[in-house]
């Protein structure tokens, strides 16, 4: 009959290559993920599977399922284990994404070597370097092990053949965008190729109960390159972050089926490789013999982890009609707002001064809890009076000058006390700051002017 499609045939339609959204008419922008130019013509299968097949493995009551087969295996890198929730889960597929040069390959090569030293077979497939180049880096970072196998492959079938031959417990693929299948159209890194490569590797990982680590590239805006379907297929998605000119590297779990997503791992990238930092606060605090005006220490929370950082400010009389406002490691619009609040609500005349506000060590502070430390650093620079080197301050500052409570007040105080600080200026909270360590003094403030009065005129 005209206008109807026969059962099992293909009906013309259009599909988004990024998220899989379908439509009967072509549009330039996907209605689901809002991506431009990703909707292409395809066919929509009309047939439906309705016949029941013979069950090979009957469903089991959840209480009788043996969870020992999915127990965590430690990687030997404590900071990575923290982010993953305890280690590697057999059969899990983990995607590690980050910008070029951030240290993804170095970290995974170190993880592969540590895992291999436990007596397990590990296969490292590289599509971006030769085996000799990987060996040079492995020798530099002391990542050579007898059961660590290297394979330089860009063909998916060859890589799967290596998996069949080695039968590794851990597979590392660097990177998923460099592999391609001759049976799929398109070049390596394309949407179709990435989808096919990821699906094949995931199927092999689940079949062999083999943990798989995939390296993923990122786009200009920092999102993972390739179809969004890739993030849905894998079990864990980790983001590797870090400034090119800073030694600090952070790993965050964006998605984790086996653990929390609010943990952060800290690493130090140097000429000898990448090393986990159990206590990275020393990178973000300057070492001066005498207190200097224009500096203030704060405690920020990265996930559930408190980190001590220092904010520095410098004011200079401007020779321009429009004073300069420069920031580093802080949100420039938020710093400009705090300068306006200082002038209008606290009486600090800053309209004729060039202001420079930065963090120490290249750390980025985006949490609103750092507002009070930024304001106190600027006020200290304006007054020419140094704050105590044993003082910390944190709290969100509003446009009315009020200091608002922030999460984890007691956790921040405990961390500051552990590192030798003795005084804290914190926002007033209905529940108070909680138990305070012995010898530690806490001053609660409700307004920015109250904090300035306490520190500079108290």
pLDDT digits (tens, 9 = 90+) for 359-378: 998 788 999 999 999 999 99
Q: How many residues does the chain have?
A: 458
Cα 187 to its chain centre, rounded Å, is 29
Q: Name the nearest CA neighbour of 353 among 311, 319, 401.
A: 319
Beta strand spans in 99-188 (E): 122-126, 148-152, 170-174
Give the pTM. 0.76
Average pLDDT over residues 155-166: 96
**pLDDT band, very low/low/confident/very high, at 23 (cuts 50, 70, 90):** confident
Q: What percent of the chain stands above pLDDT 90?
A: 58
* Contact assessment for residue 350 and residue 339, using Cβ atoms and an 8 Å cutoff: yes
- Classify residue 61 as exposed, middle or buried by CB count within 10 Å of its CB (0-12, 13-18, 19+): exposed
* Contact assessment for residue 249 and residue 269, using Cβ atoms and an 8 Å cutoff: yes
* Contact assessment for residue 138 and residue 181, using Cβ atoms and an 8 Å cutoff: no
**What is the dihedral sign for C-alpha 236, 237, 243, 245?**
positive
pLDDT of residue 397: 97
* Contact assessment for residue 372 and residue 298, using Cβ atoms and an 8 Å cutoff: yes
pLDDT of residue 3: 46
> Does residue 105 have a known ligand-binding role?
yes
Min mean pLDDT across 14-28, 117-131, 148-162 is at 14-28
Tokens of 367: 């949490």
What's the mean per-residue pLDDT of the chain? 88
> Does residue 102 have a known ligand-binding role?
yes
Q: How far is CA 124 from CA 45, 215, 267, 303, in A?
A: 38, 11, 22, 31
> Does residue 289 have a known ligand-binding role?
no
Average pLDDT over residues 87-111: 93
Q: How far apart are CA 228 and CA 218, in angstroms?
A: 12
* Contact assessment for residue 429 and residue 418, using Cβ atoms and an 8 Å cutoff: no
**Residue partners of 311: CB distance under 8 A and separation at least 6:** 295, 296, 297, 298, 330, 357, 358, 359, 360, 365, 370, 373, 374, 377
- Of residues 40 and 201, which shows the higher confidence score? 201
Average pLDDT over residues 393-415: 96
Residue 221 has pLDDT above 90, yes or no: no
**pLDDT band, very low/low/confident/very high, at 1 (cuts 50, 70, 90):** very low
pLDDT of residue 2: 45
* Contact assessment for residue 342 and residue 451, using Cβ atoms and an 8 Å cutoff: no
Tokens of 186: 């398109």
Q: Name the nearest CA neighbour of 299 among 423, 445, 402.
A: 423
Min mean pLDDT across 21-30, 94-103, 192-201 is at 21-30
* Contact assessment for residue 356 and residue 326, using Cβ atoms and an 8 Å cutoff: yes
Cα 88 to its chain centre, rounded Å, is 18
Tokens of 345: 């609500």
Q: How far is CA 397 from CA 339, 401, 410, 448, in A?
A: 11, 6, 19, 7
Residue 140 has a CB neighbour count (10 Å cut-off) of: 12
* Contact assessment for residue 288 and residue 312, using Cβ atoms and an 8 Å cutoff: no
Span 223-273, pLDDT tens digits: 776 667 788 889 999 999 887 777 788 898 999 999 888 888 889 888 888
> Does residue 119 have a known ligand-binding role?
no
**pLDDT band, very low/low/confident/very high, at 436 (cuts 50, 70, 90):** very high
Min mean pLDDT across 129-138, 155-164, 270-279 is at 270-279
Average pLDDT over residues 146-163: 96
Residue 45 has pLDDT above 60, yes or no: no
Q: Name the nearest CA neighbour of 72 among 91, 92, 94, 87.
A: 87
Tokens of 116: 């291999």
Owner of token pair 């090119």: 244
Residue 217 has pLDDT above 50, yes or no: yes
Q: How far apart are CA 454 and CA 386, in angstroms?
A: 13
Residue 424 has pLDDT above 90, yes or no: yes
> Does residue 166 have a known ligand-binding role?
no
Beta strand spans in 17-116 (E): 22-23, 39-45, 93-98
* Contact assessment for residue 225 and residue 178, using Cβ atoms and an 8 Å cutoff: no
Average pLDDT over residues 35-39: 82
Average pLDDT over residues 159-168: 96
> Does residue 98 have a known ligand-binding role?
yes
**pLDDT band, very low/low/confident/very high, at 35 (cuts 50, 70, 90):** confident
Owner of token pair 């299948």: 181
**pLDDT band, very low/low/confident/very high, at 100 (cuts 50, 70, 90):** confident
């Amino acid at each position: 009959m005209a206008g109807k499609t026969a059962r099992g045939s293909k009906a013309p339609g259009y599909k988004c290559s990024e998220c899989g959204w379908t439509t009967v008419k072509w549009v330039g922008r996907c209605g689901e993920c809002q991506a431009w130019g990703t909707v292409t013509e395809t066919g929509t299968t009309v047939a439906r599977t309705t016949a029941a097949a013979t069950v090979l493995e009957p469903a089991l009551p959840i209480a009788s399922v043996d969870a020992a087969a999915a127990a965590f295996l430690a990687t030997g890198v404590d900071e990575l284990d923290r982010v993953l929730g305890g280690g590697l889960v057999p059969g899990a597929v983990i995607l590690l994404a980050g910008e070029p040069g951030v240290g993804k390959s170095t970290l995974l090569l170190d993880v592969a070597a540590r895992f291999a030293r436990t007596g397990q077979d590990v296969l490292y497939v590289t599509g971006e370097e030769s085996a000799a180049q990987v060996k040079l880096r492995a020798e530099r970072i002391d990542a050579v092990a007898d059961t660590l196998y290297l394979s330089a492959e860009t063909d998916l079938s060859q890589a799967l053949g290596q998996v069949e031959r080695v039968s590794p417990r851990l597979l590392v693929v660097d990177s998923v965008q460099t592999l391609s299948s001759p049976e799929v159209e398109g070049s390596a890194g394309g949407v179709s190729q990435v989808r096919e490569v990821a699906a094949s590797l995931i199927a092999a990982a689940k079949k062999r109960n083999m943990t798989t680590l995939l390296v993923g590239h990122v786009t200009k805006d920092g999102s993972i390159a390739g179809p969004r379907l890739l993030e849905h297929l894998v079990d864990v998605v980790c983001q590797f972050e870090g400034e090119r000119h800073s030694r600090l590297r952070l790993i965050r779990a964006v998605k984790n089926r086996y653990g929390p997503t609010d943990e952060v791992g800290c690493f130090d990238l140097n000429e000898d490789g990448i090393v986990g930092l159990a206590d990275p606060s020393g990178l973000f605090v300057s070492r001066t013999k005498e207190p200097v005006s224009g500096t203030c220490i704060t405690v920020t929370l990265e996930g559930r982890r408190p980190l001590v950082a220092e904010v520095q400010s410098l004011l200079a009389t401007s020779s321009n009609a429009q004073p300069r406002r420069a920031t580093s490691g802080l949100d420039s619009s938020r710093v400009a707002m705090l300068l306006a609040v200082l002038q209008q609500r606290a009486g600090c005349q800053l309209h004729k001064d060039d202001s420079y506000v930065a963090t120490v060590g290249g750390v980025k502070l985006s949490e609103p809890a750092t507002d009070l430390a930024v304001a106190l650093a600027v006020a200290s620079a304006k007054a020419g009076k140094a704050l105590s080197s044993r003082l910390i301050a944190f709290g969100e500052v509003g446009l009315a000058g009020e200091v608002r409570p922030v999460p984890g007040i007691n956790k921040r105080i405990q961390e500051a006390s552990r590192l030798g600080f003795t005084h804290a200026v914190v926002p007033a909270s209905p529940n108070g700051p909680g138990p305070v360590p012995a010898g530690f003094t806490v001053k609660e403030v409700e307004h920015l002017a109250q904090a300035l009065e306490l520190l500079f005129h108290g």
